[in-house]
Amino acid sequence: MGSTWFESISTIRDGENDIATQQRTTWRLKGNMIGACSCDWGCPCNFDARPTYGWCQGTYAWHIEEGRFGDVSLDGLYMSWSGESPGPMHEGHLTTQLVIDARAGDRQREAILTLFRGEHGEPFAIFAAITETVLDPIFASYEASLDGLNSRLSVPGVLEMALTTIKNPVTGNPEEVRLVKPTGFTSKETDMGTSTVYRFTGGFQHDHSGKYAEFAPFDYSGP
Q: Where are the domains of the chain?
A: 4-222
Burial of 147 (0-12, 13-18, 19+ CB in 10 A): exposed
Question: Which ranges of 5-54 does DSSP label H, i.e. alpha helix?
Answer: 7-14, 18-23
Query: What is the pLDDT at residue 16?
Result: 42
pLDDT category, 131, cuts 50, 70, 90? very high
Query: What is the pLDDT at residue 24?
Result: 81
Q: Which residues contact 11 (CB under 8 A, 6 or more apart)?
A: none
> Which tens digit of pLDDT belongs to each residue from 166-214?
999 999 999 999 999 999 989 999 999 999 999 999 999 999 999 999 9
Distances from the Cα of 121 to the Cαs of 88, 101, 114, 118, in angstroms? 22, 22, 11, 6
Query: What is the pLDDT at residue 78?
Result: 99
pLDDT at 79 over 70: yes
pLDDT at 4 over 70: no
Cβ(211)–Cβ(39) under 8 Å? yes
pLDDT at 5 over 90: no
> Which tens digit of pLDDT belongs to each residue from 17-26?
343 444 789 9
> Which tens digit of pLDDT belongs to each residue from 95-129?
999 999 999 999 999 999 999 999 898 999 999 99
Mean pLDDT score of the chain, rounded to an integer? 91
Query: What is the pLDDT at residue 92?
Result: 86
pLDDT at 12 over 50: no
> Which tens digit of pLDDT belongs to each residue from 45-56?
998 899 999 999
Cβ(164)–Cβ(37) under 8 Å? no
pLDDT category, 1, cuts 50, 70, 90? low
Cβ(58)–Cβ(36) under 8 Å? yes
Give the helix/strand (H/E) hosting 82: strand 78-85
Query: What is the pLDDT at residue 148?
Result: 98
Query: What is the pLDDT at residue 19?
Result: 33
Query: What is the pLDDT at residue 91?
Result: 85
pLDDT at 80 over 70: yes
How far apart (Å, rounded) are the C-alpha atoms in residues 16 and 33? 28
Render 149-202 in DSSP notation, one character per residue.
BT-EEEETTTEEEEEE-EE-TTT-PEE--EEE-TT-SS-SEEEEEEEEEEEEES
Percent helix, percent strand, percent coil in the chain, to nearest 5: 20, 45, 35
pLDDT at 138 over 70: yes
Query: What is the pLDDT at residue 21?
Result: 46
Share of the chain above pLDDT 70, in %: 90
